Amino acid sequence: MAKVLMKGNEAVAEAAIRSGCRLYFAYPITPQSELIEYMAKMMPKVGGTFLQAESEVSAINMVYGAAGAGKRVMTSSSSPGISLKAEGISYIAGAELPAVIVNVQRGGPGLGDIQPAQGDYFQATKGGGHGDYRQIVLAPSSVQEFADMASEAFDLADKYRNPVMILADGMLGQMMEPVEFKEARSQAELDELGKQHNDWCICPNEDGDKKHHHEINSLEIDPAVLEAHVNALYKKYAVIEKDETRWEEFNISDDNEILCVAWGTASRIVKSAINEIKAEGKSIGMIRPITCWPFPYEAIAKAIGPKVKKVYVFELNTGQMLDDVKIAVNGKVPVDFWGKVGGIVFTPAEIQEKLEACF
Amino acid sequence: MEIIATRPQSLTSTPFTYCPGCLHGVAHRLIAESIDEFGLVNQMTGVAPVGCSVFAYKFFNFDMAQAAHGRAPAVATGIKRARPDMHVFTYQGDGDLAAIGTAEIVHAANRGERISVFFVNNAIYGMTGGQMAPTTLPDMKTTTSPYGRKVDDIGYPIRVSELLATLIAPYYIERVSLLSPADIIKAKKAVQKAIKYNKEGRGFTFVELISTCPTNWGIDPVKSREWAKENMLPFFKPGCFRDKGEGVE
C-alpha cells in the first residue's frame, strides 16, 4: 500500500480499525483528541461502535464489559485520564481480559500541561492501578511504529488475555509522518479471532456453547483461591517476559565507549545525536526498549561491551526508566542520566553536548 | 404429581449468602422468574455490583460480569454494545448506584442504553457494615452517622427514580416495595415489565426496589418491614415515573 501522511493519533486509530477493533470507548483529552475524533468519524463507516463516555472511568469500564464479551476493544487518553482508568485496568488484569489502552502522554503531575512528556513510565510499568499485576507496555518512536503497534497490541492482548498499553506521547500523537498500513483483517479472520475466546467470554458467538455459566470477575474472597489466581497470573507474566521482550539495538558494537538507553520520542533525538558523534569517529551505541514491560534487562547487560565506560539514560522525565537500567547494569559501569521535563523536549545538540563530554 | 413451584431456571443451585430476613433473595427470585417467563435464560447477561449482592454472579444461572464499585452501568453498556443481540441487566444497591456510581447510572439512563437496572434501596451500606448511604433517611443512625444523618451537614436522601425521570431518554422507571406479599406481587409486575421491554429492545428500564437491612438497622426482619413502611415509603413513594409503553411520560 502507498504511504500516507498522517498524525500519529490518526494513524494508530486507523491501524486499530484495520486490526479488527470495532468497539472504542473514550473521553476527550488533549493531546489525543485526533484519535477520538478519528474513531468518531470512522467507526460508523465500518459498522463499529464509537461511544464518547461520560468519563475515563466509565470508558475503561465499558472496555471491561466489551472485552468480557470477547471483542477487540480499545480506549485512549492522555496522562491525567490514564490515572482515572487505572482502577479499570487493574480489574481488566485481574479478570484476565484482552484490551488495548493508548496513552498519549503529556506533562504532569496533576493537570500539568499538554506538551510531550514521558512522566507516566512508572505508572505504566510498575502498576498504576492497585494490586499485583502487569500490563504489557509498547513504546513507539515513530508514527509508523505507533500504527504498527496497534495490531501487535491486539494480538498480544488476545494471546495473553491481558491489558496492553501503547505508551506514546504528545509528539508522536501530533506529529505527521508517512505511514504504510497493513492490509485490514478480513471478516473471516475477525470471525475466527472472535471464536478464540468462546471458552471463557460472556455471550459467546452464535455457534458457541450457550448452556454455560461464564463469569468475568476479579473477586476471590477465599485467600487460598486468590493466592492461586495471583500465582497463575505471575506464571503468565514470566512467559511474557521470556517471549515478548522487545528492543532495538542501534550502533551496538564491542568498540562502544558509551551505551545510551532511551525510549519513545527521546530515543529519536538520541539517535540523531549519536549519528553526529559517529561521524566524528567515536563509537557509541544505544538500546531502545520497545517493550517497557517486559523490560530488556538482559539486552542492556549484554550491550555493555569491554570498552563501555558509562551508560547514559535520556528521558523526558526526571529519571524513571533509569531505575530499570540500573537494575540491568547492576553496578558494572556508572549510569548517568539527563532529562527534560515540563513538556520541554531536548534537542539533538543538547544530547550531543552531554555525550561529547563523556569521551 | 404436578410441580407447581420450583427453582427458576435462571438461578443456580448455589445457596444465597444473605442475612436472615434480607430481601435480596426475593429480588433475585423476581428477576430470575421474569427472565424464565420471557425465555431469556440463554440470552441474558447480568452485571453484579460491589455490595452485599457482590456474589450475584454465583446465583444467576447465565453469564455474569462482576463490576467495580458503581461501574455496573458502564460495564453493561460495554457488553450490550459488543453484543446487541444479547440482553443485559445490572443489579445494584444504593451505595453502589447512588453514591460512587452516580455518573455511570445517570449517563447510561441519559443515553437510553438498552439495559435493565434493578436498584435495591435499603437506605444503608450492608456489606461494609452499616454505613450511611446517599439514601439514608434524615436523622437515621448508621455507623458513619452515629448521631443521625444531619441534613444541614450532609444533605437529604437522593430519590434516584425521580432524578432519572428528569431525563428524556429512559423508557421505563418505576419504584416498588418488597415490604409485604402484596407489594412483592406488584414488584414482580414491574420487574416483568422491565424484562419485557428489555427483550423488545425498547430502551433503558429501571426498577427501584425498596428493601430492608435487618442486620445493620439492628431491627428484626418483621419489624424491619414495618419500620420501612412507616419511614421509607413516605420519603421514597412507590409509583411509576415513566412508562413510554403505557404513555406515562
Count how many domains chain B has.
1
* Residues 106-145 in B contacting A (C-alpha not used; CB under 8 Å): 106-107
pLDDT of the residue at A194: 80
For residue B62, the chain A residues in CB contact (below 8 A) are 213
Q: Are residues A185 and A271 in the same domain?
A: no
**Boundaries of domain holding A345:** 248-356
Q: Quote the CA–CA distance of B57 and B72 in Å, as a whole number.
A: 12
E-strand stretches of B17-101: 44-48, 63-66, 87-93
A219 found inside a domain: no
Q: Quote the CA–CA distance of A87 and A103 in Å, as a whole number.
A: 15
Take residue B25 and report the three cell numbers written for it.
Answer: 433473595
Q: 3-state SS string over chain A?
A: CCCEEEEHHHHHHHHHHHCCCCEEEECCCCCCHHHHHHHHHHHHHHCCEEEECCCHHHHHHHHHHHHHCCCCEEEEECHHHHHHHHHHHHHHHHCCCCEEEEEEECCCCCCCCCCCCCCCHHHHHCCCCCCCCCCEEECCCCHHHHHHHHHHHHHHHHHHCCEEEEEEEHHHHHCEEEECCCCCCCHHHHHHHHHCCCCCCCCCCCCCCCCCCCEECCCCCCHHHHHHHHHHHHHHHHHHHHHHCCEEEECCCCCCCEEEECCHHHHHHHHHHHHHHHHCCCCEEEEEECEEECCCHHHHHHHCCCCCCEEEEEECCCCCHHHHHHHHHCCCCCEEEEECCCCCCCCHHHHHHHHHCCC
pLDDT of residue B249 exceeding 90, the answer is: no
Q: Quote the CA–CA distance of B170 and B193 in Å, as a whole number.
A: 14
Query: pLDDT in tens for each of the 359 residues of chain A?
Result: 799 999 999 999 999 999 999 999 999 999 999 999 999 999 999 999 999 999 999 999 999 999 999 999 999 999 999 999 999 999 999 999 999 999 999 999 999 999 999 999 999 999 899 999 999 999 999 999 999 999 999 999 999 999 999 999 999 999 999 999 999 988 888 888 888 898 899 987 665 556 778 999 999 999 999 999 999 999 999 999 999 999 999 999 999 999 999 999 999 999 999 999 999 999 999 999 999 999 999 999 999 999 999 999 999 999 999 999 999 999 999 999 999 999 999 999 999 999 999 99
B1 found inside a domain: no
Residue A63: closest CA among chain B residues belongs to which residue? B78
pLDDT of the residue at A206: 61
Count how many domains chain A has.
2
CATH number at residue A107: 3.40.50.970
Q: Are residues A15 and A145 in the same domain?
A: yes
For residue A66, the chain B residues in CB contact (below 8 A) are 78-79, 81-82
Q: Does B10 touch chain A (CB under 8 A)?
A: no
B5 found inside a domain: no
Residue A23: closest CA among chain B residues belongs to which residue? B82
Instruction: Answer whether A215 sits within 8 Å of B66, measured CB to CB.
Output: yes
For residue B45, the chain A residues in CB contact (below 8 A) are 202-203
pLDDT of the residue at B1: 82
Q: Are residues A163 and A273 in the same domain?
A: no
Q: Does B90 touch chain A (CB under 8 A)?
A: no
pLDDT of the residue at A249: 98
B57 found inside a domain: yes
Q: Are residues A19 and A107 in the same domain?
A: yes
Instruction: Answer whether A203 sits within 8 Å of B86, measured CB to CB.
Output: yes
Residue given cell 492497585 in the structure block: A130
If you average pLDDT over every residue of chain B, what do you get?
A: 97
pLDDT of the residue at A210: 64
CATH number at residue A267: 3.40.50.920
Q: Does A130 touch chain B (CB under 8 A)?
A: no
A239 found inside a domain: no
Q: Does B62 touch chain A (CB under 8 A)?
A: yes
For residue A211, the chain B residues in CB contact (below 8 A) are 42
**Boundaries of domain holding B157:** 24-243
Distance from the Cα of B51 to chain A's closest Cα (Å) equals 12
Q: Are residues A111 and A181 in the same domain?
A: yes
Q: What is the pLDDT of residues B141-197, one digit of tens each?
A: 999 999 999 999 999 999 999 999 999 999 999 999 999 999 999 999 999 999 999
Take residue A311 and report the three cell numbers written for it.
Answer: 551508560
A8 found inside a domain: yes
Q: Does A64 touch chain B (CB under 8 A)?
A: yes
B103 found inside a domain: yes
Q: Are residues A281 and A168 in the same domain?
A: no
B134 found inside a domain: yes
Q: Does A190 touch chain B (CB under 8 A)?
A: no
Q: Indicate the residue among A195, A213, A234 that finishes a domain.
A: A195
A155 found inside a domain: yes
pLDDT of the residue at A207: 58
Q: Are residues A57 and A138 in the same domain?
A: yes
Q: Are residues A43 and A117 in the same domain?
A: yes
CATH number at residue B62: 3.40.50.970
A43 found inside a domain: yes
Q: Quote the CA–CA distance of A290 and A146 in Å, as a whole number.
A: 11
Residue A97: closest CA among chain B residues belongs to which residue? B65
B36 found inside a domain: yes
A51 found inside a domain: yes
Residues of chain B above pLDDT 90, percent: 96
Option in B61, B64, B67 nearest A61 (CB): B67
pLDDT of the residue at A204: 76
B75 found inside a domain: yes
Average pLDDT over residues B42-57: 94
Instruction: Answer whether A66 sits within 8 Å of B79, measured CB to CB.
Output: yes
A25 found inside a domain: yes
Distance from the Cα of B181 to chain A's closest Cα (Å) equals 31
pLDDT of the residue at A209: 56
Residues of chain B above pLDDT 70, percent: 100
Option in B58, B65, B71 nearest A68 (CB): B65
Instruction: Answer whether B68 sits within 8 Å of A55, measured CB to CB.
Output: no
Q: Does A75 touch chain B (CB under 8 A)?
A: no
Q: Are residues A39 and A140 in the same domain?
A: yes
B9 found inside a domain: no
Q: Does B74 touch chain A (CB under 8 A)?
A: yes
Number of Cβ pairs < 8 A linking chain A and chain B = 119
Take residue A77 and report the three cell numbers written for it.
Answer: 487518553
